[in-house]
Amino acid sequence: MTYQKPADLPEKIQLFIDGEFVDAEGGAQFDVIEPVSNEVYTKAASASKADVDRAVAAAKRAFDEGPWPKMLPRERSRILHKVADIVESRDDRLALIESWDSGLPITQAKGQARRAAENFRFFADLIVAEHDNVTKVPGRQINYVNRKPKGVAGLITPWNVPFMQESWKLAPALATGNTVVLKPASYTPLSAALWPEIFREAGVPDGVFNLILGSGGVAGDALVKHPDVPLISFTGDSSTGAMISTNAAPFLKGLSLELGGKSPSVVFADADLEEALDATVFSVFSLNGERCTAGSRVLVERSIYDDFVARYAERAKNIVIGLPSDPATEVGALVHPSHFEKVMSYVEIGKSEGRLVAGGGRPEGFPEGNYVAPTVFADVKPEARIFQEEIFGPVVAITPFDTDEEALQLANDTKYGLAAYVWTSNLKRAHNFAHGIESGMVWLNSNNVRDLRTPFGGVKASGLGREGGYRSVDFYTTAQSIQITLNEAHSPRFGAGK
């Protein structure tokens, strides 16, 4: 099995601060590996607290003294459209790098590159069309909203589909006039290192975008606790999100936390079973199963349960496993050996908690690298760990139900509440069931296809706050209320005597 290394990979990945590529303090670095062979292919600068301080100082200076926050929305919009144009023009290269760095199948990586461009185009248009309410009391006063950027935005992004996830935060933060410090995941720094040149070519001023690399415990923690960073947008696991919330609390920072998920896919007997199969298989095995909105619990009405499980298992067994660079590959290698070990530990746990009907270990022909065969467990009880805990890999638990009430109870029976999927031809049931689910998002007879205007986020352990569309504008700006009196103020005359 020969895995061709992309051309022109950097010998080292540097920080980007105030318009310049720089090494970390003292030259500190960490190894970066690719997940097919787990071999080190480059080194990345490992930022210290002092490096984070430098990046924040540059971003604050660009915010306080630079042109970016003061530009007309149309001016910023033109630059962000250029960013989108550049990303689109380089989608093949971006996809190749993303696939190499993360193990994501190349065809799915291309889709993520295109989505990244669309994120910038969407917010470039939104800030030009943005408007706020003006209210009035006839003859007495007018009130209007003055929307202002907050300052330096700290953006902390995960290792799954990293370039797209970075664009998801960068686009609204920059569109609304903030400056940013981006801290990507240490597993996948390669595609993040493409942003400096993209922004420079598009005309983003120096200091507006800054990139720090390194561990969450050092670089991420310093960013969260920095007093000159008024807002943090974080995507990652729930335990880290809880820690960030605690560490940010003394500073009263604005927080947007998009955390883990254990999303249910509920399949009723009256559903279009072929469409439900297509969607539920894709939901958990696309992106190598490393997706927060994966429908990793499939709840199936008992009258169709046995047939559904058999067909599901057959589909899982036929999934194409291969090199991430092969266009035919449907499931590639997991991102990192430590994550591979975590997922494999859950596979072993599942063998005592459910009936293994597909997968269950390494796929045949892949003795090395972070490969896990698409794995399906049936007859999983709600108290099982593989039912309750986020695995974040190509592993699914299938559970039967008898009534709508039982299905809803099972759907809500985890600490998470990010997404849910419901498959039924009964319109009343679809809406009523969706309303009863404890999740931030529900898809009815649909796969995970999201309009960028809609809110994204979860409830319970799946997060805090919402981004997407005008919710992102709300998060990255301060809505200042201005009141104008149209006649005499009529203030009580304290201290004026009789």
Tell me which residue of 184, 230, 251 sits closest to 45, measured CA to CA.
184
Contacts by 239-246 with C-beta closer than 8 Å and gap 24+? 240/216, 241/463, 241/464, 244/156, 244/220, 245/464
Q: Is 258 a catalytic residue?
A: yes
User: One-letter amino acid identity for 41?
Assistant: Y
Of 34, 166, 258, 290, which one is the catalytic site residue? 258
Contacts of 455 (CB under 8 A, 6+ apart): 440, 441, 466, 467, 468, 469, 471
Residues annotated catalytic, as ranges:
258
